[in-house]
Amino acid sequence: MRGLLAVLMCVAWVSAAAEGATAKKMSPLKKLVESIHYIQDSFYKEVDVGKCVDQILSGGVSKCTDRWSHYESAEEDNKEALDEYGEKDQSVYVEKPEAEIGYVKIKRFISETRDDFEAAVIGLNQNGMKVLVLDLRDNPGGRLHTVIGIITFFKSDEEPILYEVGRDGKEVPDTPYESNRGIFKELKVVVLINKESYSAAELLAGWLKEDFGAPVVGEVSFGKDLIQKPFEFEDGSALYVTYARYLIGKGKLSIGGVGVKPTLEVKNPEGQGDAQMQKAIETARRLAVLSH
């Protein structure tokens, strides 16, 4: 937290100074990104922030970049994903492949995803669903608070969902929300992941596997365990800066660089159908029988 405060105090000064920097040609924006990351790193090592900035402006930033920190213009930060017909693409897709099996695909985690997911599952429950197949394949991640909100639906206690680990090594717990806590705690779930399941999708899959006991079908996920803070600018653009890693659930599972390992590893051979989905449905059928 102290590092973030230092960043906020230095952003305007660094940005202005970068405009006039001549030691190394670099766009002010790129210099700002690298400056923020370097200030954070150095601040936790109790290095003088002013000295850090001086080093940055003299071109000493080559080894201080974080490839996940990035800038999005106003158009990129606020753009809506469109489907193949040019219409707004919803983040949650729902269907009911069998009488007792529901299917929900979360495409990404945006502000509306929590409410859309809740509505989808309630609707499936009202139509006789016993087991939910939750598809997180090809999900690039998204907003942390949205994922915490979704996990809250499956969790009735107040134990932490994850721990944020900053550069000082301290573990800060994130606990469930009060709203609608535990409303799906009795629901049986089968999770689908693949190597393109990132970050927030991995957090949800990992928690459902480790703390909820859900079987996970597919491939080992990507392994991105970073949490980012958006710094929003007046023009609508935003700078996303990595400030912590997360550990999942009561077992403090670390997935950085290793991903979430599926319970049932299944690959999808090209041109041979969706073997992962078939295995998930088979698993859901067995769970549905056990629920009677």
152: helix, strand or coil: helix
102 closest CA partner among 124, 126, 117: 124
45 is a catalytic site residue: no
| Structure confidence at residue 58 (pLDDT) | 55
Q: Annotated catalytic residue: which of 42, 69, 199, 221?
A: 199
| Structure confidence at residue 209 (pLDDT) | 98
227: helix, strand or coil: strand
- In this structure, the number of other CB atoms found within 10 A of the CB of residue 23 comes to 10
pLDDT in tens, the chain (292 residues): 444 434 433 443 344 443 443 333 445 555 555 555 555 554 444 445 455 555 545 554 433 445 565 666 655 544 455 444 344 568 999 999 999 999 999 999 998 999 999 999 999 999 999 999 999 999 999 889 999 999 999 999 999 999 999 878 899 999 999 889 999 999 999 999 999 999 999 999 999 999 999 999 999 999 999 888 776 766 776 667 777 899 999 999 999 999 999 999 999 988 889 999 999 999 999 999 987 7
Contacts with 189 (C-beta within 8 Å, 6 or more apart), sequence order: 131, 132, 133, 134, 154, 208, 212, 214
Q: Annotated catalytic residue: which of 31, 105, 155, 224?
A: 224
107 is a catalytic site residue: no
CATH topology classification for 86-290? 2-enoyl-CoA Hydratase; Chain A, domain 1 (3.90.226)
What are the structural domain ranges in the chain?
2-65, 86-290
CA 197/CA 139 separation, integer angstroms = 5
Q: Which two tokens stand for residue 130?
A: 């016993």
